[in-house]
């Protein structure tokens, strides 16, 4: 009764009084520090914060990506899970290249030699469908690093790396991948998300995975619509990751 009355005042202010359920926590937890975090006060395991991951989150990676450690962890585990799957690496929306660098680093450590296709305008948004993407996005937004800098960052003697500049869908013709093992799609907007998703689903090997960065982010609702349409067309389902903007598709 008190909670209901209080919530009449609190909820319009964006707050809510909730009952706290007592948790049974073994004491002491061996890695207790990994169960707390500024992003969520709930006691959740956050493996990406453990020291074992620090060596992967180098300045070359963290200094050149918009992705959090949590999101990079999803990419890393997906690369691990697809290590035996035939096909190339693909990324739509490479930005400054930090996430791509991590994908290449981990593939090398796993002993997986792959071709990598990394696509971006390298000039931010250059085409917007205002009716779908909304009026909150504008040409030239999301401009990260120029292509030359990304080529330098992704230089890799053991991988066959292709950094392709220009607008998706047009540049997809330059991607000579018959099979894709793992794809990361992070272009925010409807048209390139739709085209890149279809392109990948046409080529995704059984056991292959796609991580969509923008699925749960309301500002990218148009990207989610594009992904849902493509998934229906290809009869695929995905998992929207709780407490993240990401979603994951695993091809059976
Ligand atoms: C959120 S950023 C990518 C962030 C990056 N994955 C990272 O790790 O930081 C989105 C990217 O999509 C690119 N982009 C948007 N529309 C595009 C299109 N039609 N073709 C190619 N790239 C596009 C932008 O230039 C921008 O770099």
Residue 194 lies in a domain: yes
Residue 188, ligand 1, Cβ within 6 A: yes
Domain extent at residue 239? 54-250
How far, in Å, from the CA of 2 to the mean position of ligand 1?
A: 48
Residue 106 lies in a domain: yes
Nearest CA to ligand 1 atom 24: 124
Residue 167, ligand 1, Cβ within 6 A: yes
Helices 190-203 & 221-233, crossing angle to 10 degrees? Answer: 30
Domain count, the chain: 1
Residue 103, ligand 1, Cβ within 6 A: no
**DSSP β-bridge partners for residue 210:** 183, 249
Distance in angstroms (rounded) separating the CA atoms of residues 147 and 157:
18
Q: What's the pLDDT at 183?
A: 98
Token representation of residue 188? 């925010």
- We report the CATH number of the domain holding residue 194 as 3.40.50.150
Residue 223, ligand 1, Cβ within 6 A: no
The rounded Cα 153 to chain-centroid distance in angstroms is 19
Residues 6+ apart with CB under 8 A from 6: 17
Q: What's the pLDDT at 23?
A: 59
How far, in Å, from the CA of 84 to the mean position of ligand 1?
A: 28
Token representation of residue 234? 């290809």
Phi, psi values for residue 52, rounded to 5°: -60, -25
Distance in angstroms (rounded) separating the CA atoms of residues 131 and 230:
19
Residue 194, ligand 1, Cβ within 6 A: no
Residue 107, ligand 1, Cβ within 6 A: no
How far, in Å, from the CA of 251 to the mean position of ligand 1?
A: 24
Number of the ligand 1 atom closest to the C-alpha atom of 168 = 20
Residue 12 lies in a domain: no
pTM higher than 0.85? yes
Residue 244 lies in a domain: yes
| 8 A C-beta contact, residue 10 and residue 2 | no
Residue 44 lies in a domain: no
Token representation of residue 196? 């890149």
Q: What is the DSSP string of 153-175?
A: HT--TTSEEEEEES-TTGGGGG-
Residue 41 lies in a domain: no
Q: What's the pLDDT at 29?
A: 75
Residue 97, ligand 1, Cβ within 6 A: no
Q: What's the pLDDT at 42?
A: 64
50: region left, alpha or beta (phi > 0 left; psi from -120 to 50 alpha): beta
Instruction: Name the residue of 64, 68, 91, 95 to mutate for ligand 1: max ligand atoms within 8 A of Cβ.
Output: 95
Q: In what order do the strands lie in the sheet with 180-185?
A: 160-165, 115-120, 88-92, 180-185, 204-212, 247-250, 238-240
Nearest CA to ligand 1 atom 7: 65
How far, in Å, from the CA of 96 to the mean position of ligand 1?
A: 9
Residues 6+ apart with CB under 8 A from 145: 64, 95, 96, 97, 122, 153
Residue 244, ligand 1, Cβ within 6 A: no
How far, in Å, from the CA of 94 to the mean position of ligand 1?
A: 6
Handedness of CA 86, 91, 97, 99 (dihedral sign): negative
Would you write out the chain's pLDDT as a tens digit for each of its 252 residues? 787 888 888 888 878 787 665 556 667 777 777 776 565 556 788 899 999 999 999 999 999 999 999 999 999 999 999 999 999 999 999 999 999 999 999 999 999 999 999 999 999 999 999 999 999 999 999 999 999 999 999 998 888 999 999 999 999 999 999 999 999 999 999 999 999 999 999 999 999 999 999 999 999 999 999 999 999 999 999 999 988 999 999 998
Closest CA to 211 of 123, 92, 102: 92
């Amino acid at each position: 009764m008190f909670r209901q009355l209080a919530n009449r005042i609190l909820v319009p202010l964006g707050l809510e009084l909730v009952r706290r359920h007592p948790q049974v926590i073994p004491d002491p937890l061996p890695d207790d520090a990994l169960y707390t975090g500024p992003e969520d006060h709930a006691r959740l395991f956050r493996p990406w914060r453990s020291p074992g991951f620090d060596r992967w989150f180098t300045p070359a990676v963290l200094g050149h990506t918009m992705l959090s450690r949590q999101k990079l962890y999803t990419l890393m585990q997906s690369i691990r899970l697809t290590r035996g799957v035939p096909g190339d690496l693909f990324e739509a929306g490479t930005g400054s290249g930090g996430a791509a660098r991590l994908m290449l680093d981990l593939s090398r450590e796993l002993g997986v030699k792959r071709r990598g296709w990394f696509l971006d305008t390298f000039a931010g948004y250059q085409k917007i469908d205002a009716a779908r993407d909304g009026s909150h996005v504008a040409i030239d937004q999301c401009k990260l690093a120029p292509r030359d800098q990304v080529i330098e960052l992704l230089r890799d003697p053991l991988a066959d790396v292709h950094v392709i500049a220009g607008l998706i869908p047009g540049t997809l013709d330059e991607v000579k991948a018959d099979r894709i093992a793992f794809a990361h799609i992070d272009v925010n907007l409807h048209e390139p998300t739709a085209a890149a998703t279809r392109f990948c689903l046409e080529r995704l090997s059984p056991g292959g995975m796609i991580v969509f960065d923008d699925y749960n982010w309301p500002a990218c609702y148009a990207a989610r619509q594009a992904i849902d349409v493509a998934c229906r067309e290809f009869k695929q389902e995905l998992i929207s990751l709780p407490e993240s903007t990401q979603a994951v598709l695993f091809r059976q």
